[in-house]
Amino acid sequence: MDLQKLVEDVLSDAEVYRGHGDPASYIPVLAKVDPKKMGIAVAAKDGTVYCAGDADEPFSIQSLSKVFALNLALDHVGAALWNYVGKEPSGSPFNSIVQLEAEKGKPRNPLINAGAMVVCDSIMGDGTADEAVEEILSFLRELSQDSTVSIAQNVAESESQGGFLNRSLAYFVSAFGNLTNPVEEVLSVYFRQCAIAMSCRQLARAGLYLAFDGKDPATGEEVTISSRARRINALMLTCGHYDNSGEFAYRIGLPGKSGVGGGILTVAPGVGAICVWSPGLNAAGTSLAGAVMLEKLVERTGWSVFV
């Protein structure tokens, strides 16, 4: 298959959706991003990344960071993570507090905000917030093979200043003993990981190991054990898009994770990793044109975990 032609065709298939949806406005810096941006990147088995549109422009990865942070937390504490966070879809928005009360402060899964805070806490362990952030950044730099990956400090500050709901979630989780570090330190890791800026090209390359059982197919390096890679994919499929996860699985049929910066990272097992970006979101916080690009891509390729 000519993958360069594929990404170009998919971009033009979705052209009518350019600018559709609303960029996240509750993080003021994100509201200023040009809603007409659209990019797509497919990382293939040999490590080549095929790109079209604005695929080299860094954007705020937001919740895409939760996938890589989850991998690190599992490396740190293994199955003990599941004492503090569950593995079930939430059926609720990314920042919902409703279930937390009924379920005694144990977040439903690691891909909603409250669960991602537990993940940040596990990465911190006995160390500092700065060390945890450095670990997440180094992991992403290594995976994307790009040492320029960094945090947009203005986004991190904007998130922290407006982060009343995220603070409420974190204090709630902590009140039930599901955080071991001070809440503000855990939040400082969480806000900074969300504020990492990366391009579609970098993210597709970074996610490639998840499509190949935890091994980077181009370098042969084992990033994580195969069972862990499979389980991360399972969580992405069932929980990666909040209360839109069922719809995403139905339309696209691949494990994926959305972020309110407009990025979606998707894994086609045995084939490659795909990242799309367009800032306009649907009501559930998933990129509208991004989801259309992925839908067109699976229509053209037949890539699906349900084949």
Catalytic sites, residue numbers: 63, 66, 190, 242, 260
The footprint of ligand GLU on residues 148-187 (CB under 6 A) is 159, 166
For ligand GLU, how many residues bind (rule: CB under 6 A)?
Answer: 11
Residue 166 or 174: which CB sits closer to ligand GLU? 166
Look-up of token digits 């306009």: 280
Shortest separation between residue 229's beta carbon and ligand GLU, angstroms: 22
Does position 259 interact with ligand GLU (CB under 6 A)? The reply is yes
Angle at 58 between CA 55 and CA 61, to 5 degrees: 105
Nearer to ligand GLU, 31 or 271 (CB): 31
Considering only residues 72, 260, 275, 289, which one is a binding residue for ligand GLU as defined by CB under 6 A?
A: 260
Contact between 213 and ligand GLU by CB under 6 A: the answer reads no
- Using CB under 6 A as the binding rule, whether residue 277 contacts ligand GLU is answered as no
Of 217, 221, 220, 198, nearest to 208 by C-alpha is: 217
C-alpha radius of gyration, the chain, whole number: 18
Q: Rounded to a whole number, what is the largest CA-CA distance in the chain? A: 53
**86 vs 259, beta carbon nearer ligand GLU:** 259
| Closer by beta carbon to ligand GLU, 60 or else 213 | 60
In the complex, what is the shortest distance from the CB of residue 221 to ligand GLU, in angstroms, rounded to a whole number? 28
Q: How far apart are CA 292 and CA 282, in angstroms?
A: 11
Residues 45-104 close enough to bind ligand GLU by CB under 6 A: 62-63, 94-95
| Gap between the Cα atoms of 270 and 259, Å rounded | 24
Q: Which of 214, 253, 285, 290 binds ligand GLU (CB under 6 A)?
A: 285
User: What is the smallest separation between the CB atom of 304 and ligand GLU, expressed in angstroms?
Assistant: 24
Taking the complex as a whole, how short is the minimal distance between the CB of residue 76 and ligand GLU, in angstroms?
22
Can you say how many angstroms the Cα of residue 242 is from the centroid of all Cα atoms in its chain?
A: 12
- For the CB of residue 207, give the shortest distance to ligand GLU in the complex, in Å: 16
Is the Cβ–Cβ distance between 201 and 143 less than 8 Å?
no
Query: What's the rounded Cα separation, in Å, for the pair 130 and 133?
Result: 5
Residue selected from 113, 144, 233, 287 as contacting ligand GLU according to rule CB under 6 A: 113
Q: Which is nearer to ligand GLU, 94 or 212 (CB)?
A: 94
Binding site residues, ligand GLU, CB under 6 A: 62-63, 94-95, 113, 159, 166, 194, 259-260, 285
